[in-house]
Structure 1
Amino acid sequence: MPVHPSVNLRSAVITRLRAAGCVFAEDEARILLAAAATPAELAAMVRDRAAGRPLEHVAGWAEFACLRIAVDPGVFVPRRRSEFLARSAAALAREGALVVDLCCGTGALGAALAATVDHPVRLYAADLDPAAVRCARRNLAASGAEVFEGDLFEALPPGLRGRVDVLLANVPYVPTADIALLPAEARLHEARPALDGGADGLDVLRRVAADAPRWLAPGGALFFETSDQQAATALGVVTAAGLTAVLGYDEDLDATVVTATRPPGAVL
């Protein structure tokens, strides 16, 4: 049961969070007060948040696409802009589609897609980080998904090769040199492999694009997020792999998504 706060307790939490630099102190106080089961737990959570730990790690969950996604310490926190990636993929996930959430992290994208479509899909997910896999298994349990631990496609059952209709790959795309410029919440508290995309931010994308045509079904599509600055190069990466790519942009979320389709008649 959450702590039932007095006006004074709520005010004290807000004051502590505001003093620590939390811009949305009122909202964060509400979340922490609801999450804490005891006054001692609340005190520990407020202390951790004031010390700079991400709110989602402190509370144990993040809101994503109107879902409550479990997020354990150290695991990449799903960003709201990635809701556009989930929506883009869901729009092409027909009934019975075989969907793979690669670099799944918490499994937020797969969970959002499954919750968005009004028909069943077959969902698989994979991540290299054991902590992320544990989160994803909890978050995707209701969808009946199978979640695997391993490096990209190596984690997936070989029987999925050539059969994937929708491939979600929220690959890391921050250039290595830019990691130092990230907010401390990400830089210090999220697993670096979930952030670091190599020298130009596209190293992991190149690996995914190189193998994607062999895993996609004819007409199947790879969906991934990128930045405005990287978009042109990212398009070149997937077209060089034999995929037909288009760019999408959501102004409200400031999100850029590439949809890269395996042509139905492509010979591998």
Structure 2
Amino acid sequence: MSATPSLSSVVTTLRAAGCVFAEDEARLLVSAADSPAGLADMVSRRAAGQPLEHVVGWAEFHGLRIAVDSGVFVPRRRTEFLVRQATALIHQAPAGRPAVVVDLCCGSGALGAALLATAHQPVELYASDIDPSAVACARRNLAYGGTVLEGDLFDALPDDLRSRIDILLANVPYVPTEEVPLLPSEAREYEPLVALDGGADGLDVLRRVTARAPDWLAPGGHLLFETSERQAPGAVATVRADGLAPRVVTSEEWDATVVVAQLRGSRLGPVSLSPDPRGPAPVTP
């Protein structure tokens, strides 16, 4: 029987591998391991550069433990700010029916799971992703309250959702192609490229979403997506060009920039693009 690596030896190994939070990670690995051999394997994988979330099999997100399989995009903590903006809008759905929420590019399903946990009202949730590994993972995380579909953006959705979606979450990839090689090795080596690469300017997938979003949103419905501060002006212009009224919400604490775009009217009627007289939504930590 092999001896269990001590906490101090795990810390030493992780420090040598360049893990900044070696002590915290060591404690997590020790608590997650089911055997000495299992711990040794997990420490070896983490020291080799695998994301901690892939090694332990889950990520903490919005107070939840989200299953994250190897090769699946790891939900970022800053994206909790996007969930908070969506949760604040849920109550605007018409009374008498569940709010209809769709999470495109859902990855592990973290956004939908977090929204279900915090909405405090009935939600009809759909999530979709083009990556089969992500879909399998999301189905585990949303087994208690969502429908997970495999396909390319809106092509995965049932047709009867057209003009019914109250909240459309689209955490699309937005890293410009030439900047992907500059990402931390954990991302570029262990996460799927399709979840990172947003095209030449990082907005290619977003353009595909905004072009079709008005056909799927309910009147007054909202599209929400994360972007970078640098890309926000281009993202806002894209949203406006496709008939949605955008506002940008930022948080220094979360280092997050979110665009909230509303469908005012429909494809068949005029759309007001005037600024929201209420100004930006309040930023909550």
- TM-score normalised by the chain length of structure 2: 0.90
Shift of 1:267: 2.1
Shift of 1:265: 5.4
Shift of 1:120: 1.5
Contact in 2 for aligned 1:223/1:260 (Cα 8 Å): yes
Contact in 2 for aligned 1:218/1:266 (Cα 8 Å): no
Match of 1:29 in 2: 26
Match of 2:88 in 1: 91
- Give the Cα–Cα distance (whole angstroms) in 2 for the partners of residues 21 and 247 of structure 1: 36
Q: Match for 1:40: what amino acid?
A: A
Contact in 1 for aligned 2:100/2:166 (Cα 8 Å): yes
Q: Match for 2:208: what amino acid?
A: R
Q: Match for 2:77: what amino acid?
A: R
Contact in 2 for aligned 1:219/1:264 (Cα 8 Å): yes
Q: How does 1:47-58 map to 2 (within 5 A)?
A: 47-58=44-55
Contact in 2 for aligned 1:57/1:73 (Cα 8 Å): yes
Contact in 1 for aligned 2:163/2:215 (Cα 8 Å): yes
Is 2:57 the partner of 1:60? yes
- Give the Cα–Cα distance (whole angstroms) in 1 for the partners of residues 83 and 136 of structure 2: 21
Contact in 1 for aligned 2:214/2:266 (Cα 8 Å): no
Match of 1:141 in 2: 143
Matched positions, count = 262
**Pair 132,265 (structure 1): closer, same or farther in 2 beyond 3 Å:** closer
Match of 1:169 in 2: 170
Q: Name the % identity.
A: 65
- 1:69 is matched with which residue: 66, 73, 81? 66
Shift of 1:117: 1.3
- Give the Cα–Cα distance (whole angstroms) in 2 for the partners of residues 251 and 141 of structure 1: 34
Contact in 1 for aligned 2:215/2:267 (Cα 8 Å): no
- CA deviations 1:23-81 (Å, max 9, x no partner) are 00111111111111111010000000000000000000000001000000010000000
Q: Match for 1:86: what amino acid?
A: V
- 2:43 is matched with which residue: 46, 50, 71? 46
Match of 2:128 in 1: 126
Q: Which runs of 5+ in 2 are unaligned?
A: 270-285
- Give the Cα–Cα distance (whole angstroms) in 1 for the partners of residues 172 and 28 of structure 2: 29
- Give the Cα–Cα distance (whole angstroms) in 2 for the partners of residues 265 and 208 of structure 1: 16
- TM-score normalised by the chain length of structure 1: 0.95
